[in-house]
Structure 1
């Protein structure tokens, strides 16, 4: 399996697992921050996607273009 296909498969597997974990949540559960020590699930979904983009796609794919430059500030 080539590197691109492997990365795509790993990312999809991770995203599917995350979707399974979040399945019992209601829409309202994604928005509020329940306590100061816990970020909402919606932030975690964005953070893991940004992490993959910043530490896998950007450094290893020379023509990769960031989805949004502000994500590094929002999710780091």
Structure 2
């Protein structure tokens, strides 16, 4: 049986993404709901922003690879695209 190398590569990438996402959620599992929105210093963003930003950047990259990909929420680009202008204007 021949395995499609591209499919295998995509499956490996998906697995690594899932492992990373699970680890991230494990790290924040003990935070209270309010902990996700508190900005503890002017130079820091709250955990909610970081988690959302990482999700958005994955979607932005996937949308460049797969032209049929549908964003979960296009409005998130307005909030999370603060540095990555190559992905389009916020």
TM-score bucket of the superposed structures, by smaller chain: 0.7 to 0.9
Pick 1 or 2: higher relative contact order, CA cutoff 8 A, min separation 6.
1
TM-score by length of 2: 0.73
Uncovered stretches (5+) of structure 1, i.e. residues with no partner: none
Instruction: Indicate the structure (1 or 2) with the bigger Cα radius of gyration.
Output: 2
Uncovered stretches (5+) of structure 2, i.e. residues with no partner: 1-6, 82-90
Q: 2:71 aligns with which of 54, 66, 72?
A: 66
TM-score by length of 1: 0.84
CA RMSD of aligned residues (A): 1.5
Q: Which runs of 4+ in 1 moved over 3 A?
A: none
